[in-house]
Amino acid sequence: MAEPSPAPAENRRASRKAPAPWGDIVFKGSTTAFAFLVLALIGTICVVLYSKGHLAISTFGFKFLWNTAWDPVREDFGALPSIFGTVVSSLLAILIATPISIGIAVFLTEMAPPWLQKPVGLGVEMLAAVPSIIYGMWGLFIFAPIMARTVQPWLKSTLGFLPLFQGIPMGIGMLTAAIILAIMIIPFIASVSRDVFSLVPAMAKESAYGLGATTWEVIRGVVIPHTRSGLVGAVFLGLGRALGETMAVTFVIGNAHRISASLLNPSNTIASTLANEFSEATSPLYISSLIELGLILFLITTTILALAKFMLWRIEAQVKGAPR
């Protein structure tokens, strides 16, 4: 059964018999109005961002998307460095976070003894609850100095011939931001993966065990193929989170409007540009350009999150539709 069973109020035949008392009409009308309000909210966000960013959109046109300049004095603005930083830091974070998150989900569903499941699950949940700004502060004062002293010089000395690892190891920069982003999105990917893993019918797993498969073989041969689109959804959800993450990145990315191949160099993301410059922007064109950046970020993240949601719905429908 893919569809949830209707609430009694949705049962048309019952409601046709007698006219609803006025209290129920008010009740249905007002809850419906509030449901519309939620829809109106997201619509208003899009319209307002577009209209307030219109000055920048009409001044720069599509060139805004690939212009690399960001010069408040000459009023020449382009989004490319911020978009580049946003996308690269998030993709790196996903690269780091995905295997670890799936590992955690496997641990929680298939491996951990019951007495360990709860505390570990709670710990992972706590990791998600720690506010973004705390990650940022810890990243700037504790983690970045460690990166500068140990990890980055080591990367430079072993892999320094690659353009990815050149420049001065300052601690802050793209790589540090990506690692912190990865830590922040691990709990989200892990908890969604755990949920989709638990959708796998026990019978399928037990059949594989009955054929003599090891735990890992069951995971690789039954659980993961069963939940592939759900896992993709989980990763997309993490990606959506990482793209819009603000405070943690603002602390550690270094805030430089430039595109650099090296992961050790400071960079910028859309969110960190907004956090740093919005309250200081004075001219209308400057503010409008920042709002257009916000619109771009909103469109990118909602697209990614919508895709994630779509994937997760598909797996739920698939599991509920299949005979158990």
Partner 1 sequence: MSAGKISGGRYMRRKAVNVAMLVLSGASAAFGLFWLFWILGILILRGAPALNWAFFTQLPTPPGMAGGGLANAIVGTLMLTVLATAMGVPVGLMAGTYLAEFGRQTALGRVVRFVADVMTSAPSIVIGVFVYAVLVQPMRGFSGFAGAVALAVIMIPVVVRTTEEMLKLVPNSLRESALALGAPYWKVVFRICYRRVFGGLTTGILLAIARVSGETAPLLFTSLNNPYWNFDFTKPMGTLNVTLFNYAMSPYDDWRSKAWGAALLITLGVLCTTVIARLVVSRTQIGRS
**Number of residues engaging partner 1 in binding (CB under 8 A):** 96
Closest to partner 1 by CB, 259 or 275: 275
Binding residue for partner 1 (CB under 8 A) from 104, 181, 232, 235? 104
193 contacts 226 by C-beta, under 8 angstroms: no
Binding residue for partner 1 (CB under 8 A) from 106, 208, 235, 264? 106
Examine residue 246 and tell whether it contacts partner 1 (CB under 8 A).
yes
Closest to partner 1 by CB, 78 or 244: 244
Residues 158-177 that bind partner 1 (CB under 8 A): none
Examine residue 130 and tell whether it contacts partner 1 (CB under 8 A).
yes
The piece of 151-159, 225-233, 237-245, 259-267 that touches partner 1 (CB under 8 A) is: 237-245
The vertex-287 CA angle with 291 and 300, nearest 5°, equals 15
Residues 182-201 that bind partner 1 (CB under 8 A): 183, 186-187, 190
Examine residue 205 and tell whether it contacts partner 1 (CB under 8 A).
no
User: How far is Cα 84 from Cα 107, in angstroms, rounded to an integer?
Assistant: 35
The piece of 62-70, 98-106, 197-205, 258-266 that touches partner 1 (CB under 8 A) is: 98-106
Examine residue 66 and tell whether it contacts partner 1 (CB under 8 A).
no
Binding residue for partner 1 (CB under 8 A) from 81, 230, 266, 294? 294
Closest to partner 1 by CB, 155 or 223: 223
Residues 260-279 that bind partner 1 (CB under 8 A): 271, 274-275, 278-279
Examine residue 32 and tell whether it contacts partner 1 (CB under 8 A).
yes
Examine residue 207 and tell whether it contacts partner 1 (CB under 8 A).
no
Binding residue for partner 1 (CB under 8 A) from 42, 162, 168, 322? 42
Binding residue for partner 1 (CB under 8 A) from 69, 95, 111, 203? 111
The piece of 23-31, 56-64, 67-75, 162-170 that touches partner 1 (CB under 8 A) is: 23-31
Closest to partner 1 by CB, 142 or 202: 142
Nearest approach, Cβ of residue 36 and partner 1 (Å):
7
Query: What is the total residue count of the chain?
Result: 324
The secondary structure of the chain, three-state, reads: CCCCCCCHHHCHHHHHHCCCCHHHHHHHHHHHHHHHHHHHHHHHHHHHHHHHCHHHHHHHCCHHHHCCCEECCCCEECCHHHHHHHHHHHHHHHHHHHHHHHHHHHHHHHHCCHHHHHHHHHHHHHHHHCCHHHHHHHHHHHHHHHHHHHHHHHHHHHHCCCHHHCCCCCCCCHHHHHHHHHHHHHHHHHHHHHHHHCCCCHHHHHHHHHCCCCHHHHHHHHHHHHCHHHHHHHHHHHHHHHHHCCHHHHHHCCCCCCCCCCCCCCCCCHHHHHHHHHHHCCCHHHHHHHHHHHHHHHHHHHHHHHHHHHHHHHHHHHHHHCCC
